[in-house]
């Protein structure tokens, strides 16, 4: 029976789309199964505010009636309005080491994007740079951390064979918790705290939604000039905040503010809940819930996922305070180490600062482009 690529239109199609990774990654010890319930919600326009400014088309490749590959084509109107371009995105690609399957999937995704007026296909994005993005190209030796991607080593070769070229690399660094804090960093951090004018404090859970409002102020100022930045709506902020609230450790979330309370920077590290998700196989039945509660107490690594300081307050040493305080909090939680990710390959200032702290680059993710 010939290979067919079909749009996902029925509930049965969506179930097959969501469950396909279990076939692709069978036997791979580094793959982290997503929670099926949460994955289903991600594609529900009534539950995911991303769809308020985007269109998404899903496609399944089938051979002999059995799903063998999948892809999502995405038009993010917020991105195109902000950057003034016509870029369409792909994401959620999964498939075997088979150029025919990959080629047909990208052909269908590209056709749909062209019909929407797009001129470039970029990805992978799930759904934007505010969520999981990038294809792993280096560092396949260990599982991904929370909200970071993972894929078989042959995926980059498939894309490059289909004409995709690198648009940007993203770096992930690893740091051991027992690494000594460099004296220069510690000295700068002490100076910031002794000088006054700026104070650094941890997250106040009793003021959680007020804290989210402070993050919005910093986010829109600190990241707006970064490659791939996409402004988030209030609904998207609330949606992501609700998800993170379930796993956040207050001591790992830090705010910098002036003496009168003006927010000027924040950093957020989260426990690596992927250590738990690997053990429950995508389900939340009673046994899985028991495992979730048990293994949540044994998480021993975290991920520093955001750190930003508003313009006008940079180069004052605030970042040094964030790094030092986060490392100290991680040690108190019993963590053996953690990931700092992701950073842009050409953000040399922040990459050098991370390496100065004693972190080593251990994974590289790639965003690809192809003309339509």
> Residue 330 has what pLDDT?
96
What pTM does this model have?
0.94
- Cis peptide preceding 301, ω within 30 of 0: no
Structure tokens at 269: 């590290």
323/186 Cα distance (integer angstroms):
10
User: Confidence band (pLDDT; 50, 70, 90) for 192?
Assistant: confident
Residue 312 reports pLDDT greater than 90: no
* From 39-43, 145-149, 309-313, the region with the lowest mean pLDDT: 309-313
218/191 Cα distance (integer angstroms):
23
Distances (CA, A) of 273 to 5, 269, 278, 316: 34, 12, 9, 33
Residue 70 reports pLDDT greater than 70: yes
User: Confidence band (pLDDT; 50, 70, 90) for 184?
Assistant: confident
Q: How many C-beta neighbours within 10 Å does residue 222 have?
A: 21
Locate tokens 């002490």: which residue? 190
Q: Which helix (H) or strand (E) holds 202?
A: strand 198-202
* From 28-42, 170-184, 311-325, the region with the lowest mean pLDDT: 311-325
Q: What is the pLDDT of residues 16-63, one digit of tens each?
A: 999 999 999 999 999 999 999 999 999 999 999 999 999 999 999 999
Locate tokens 């941890």: which residue? 202
Share of the chain above pLDDT 90, in %: 79
> Residue 97 has what pLDDT?
97
Catalogue all structural domains in the chain, each as residue range(s) with its CATH number. Answer: 4-170 (3.40.630.30), 175-365 (3.40.630.30)
> Residue 1 has what pLDDT?
64
> Residue 190 has what pLDDT?
85
69/62 Cα distance (integer angstroms):
7
> Residue 39 has what pLDDT?
94
Instruction: Identify whether the C-beta of residue 266 lies closer than 8 Å to the C-beta of residue 201.
Output: no
Give mean pLDDT, residues 93-105.
97
Distances (CA, A) of 7 to 65, 71, 109, 164, 219: 14, 10, 10, 23, 36
> Residue 91 has what pLDDT?
97
Sequence-distant (≥ 6) Cβ neighbours of residue 113 within 8 angstroms: 73, 75, 88, 121, 372
């Amino acid at each position: 029976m010939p290979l067919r690529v079909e749009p996902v239109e029925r509930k049965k199609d969506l179930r097959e789309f969501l469950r396909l990774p279990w076939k692709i990654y069978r036997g791979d010890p580094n793959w982290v199964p997503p929670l099926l319930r949460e994955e289903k919600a991600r594609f529900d326009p009534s539950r995911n505010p991303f769809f308020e400014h985007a269109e998404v088309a899903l496609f399944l490749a089938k051979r002999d009636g059995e799903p063998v590959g999948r892809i999502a084509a995405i038009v993010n109107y917020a991105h195109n309005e902000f950057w003034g371009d016509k870029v369409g995105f792909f994401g959620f690609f999964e498939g075997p080491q088979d150029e025919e399957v990959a080629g047909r999937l990208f052909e269908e995704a590209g056709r749909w994007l062209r019909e929407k007026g797009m001129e470039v296909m970029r990805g992978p994005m799930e759904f934007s740079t505010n969520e999981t993005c990038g294809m792993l190209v280096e560092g396949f030796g260990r599982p991904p951390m929370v909200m970071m991607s993972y894929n078989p080593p042959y995926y980059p070769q498939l894309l490059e064979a289909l004409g995709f070229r690198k648009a940007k690399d993203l770096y992930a660094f690893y740091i051991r918790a027992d690494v000594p804090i460099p004296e220069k960093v510690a000295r700068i951090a002490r100076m910031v705290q002794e000088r006054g004018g700026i104070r650094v404090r941890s997250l106040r859970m009793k003021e959680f939604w007020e804290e989210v409002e402070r993050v919005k102020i910093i986010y829109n100022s600190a990241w707006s000039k970064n490659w791939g930045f996409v402004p988030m709506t209030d609904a998207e902020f609330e949606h992501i905040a609700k998800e993170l609230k379930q796993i956040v450790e207050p001591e790992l979330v830090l705010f910098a503010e002036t003496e009168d309370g003006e927010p000027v920077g924040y950093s957020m590290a989260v426990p690596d809940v992927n250590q738990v998700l690997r053990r429950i196989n995508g389900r939340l039945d009673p046994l899985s819930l028991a495992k979730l509660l048990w293994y949540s107490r044994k998480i021993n690594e975290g991920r520093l996922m955001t750190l930003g300081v508003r313009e006008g307050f940079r180069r004052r040493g605030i970042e040094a305070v964030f790094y030092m305080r986060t490392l100290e909090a991680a040690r108190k939680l019993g963590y053996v180490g953690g990931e700092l990710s992701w950073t842009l390959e050409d953000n040399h200032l922040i990459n050098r600062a991370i390496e100065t702290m004693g972190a080593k680059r251990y994974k590289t993710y790639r965003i690809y482009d192809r003309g339509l």
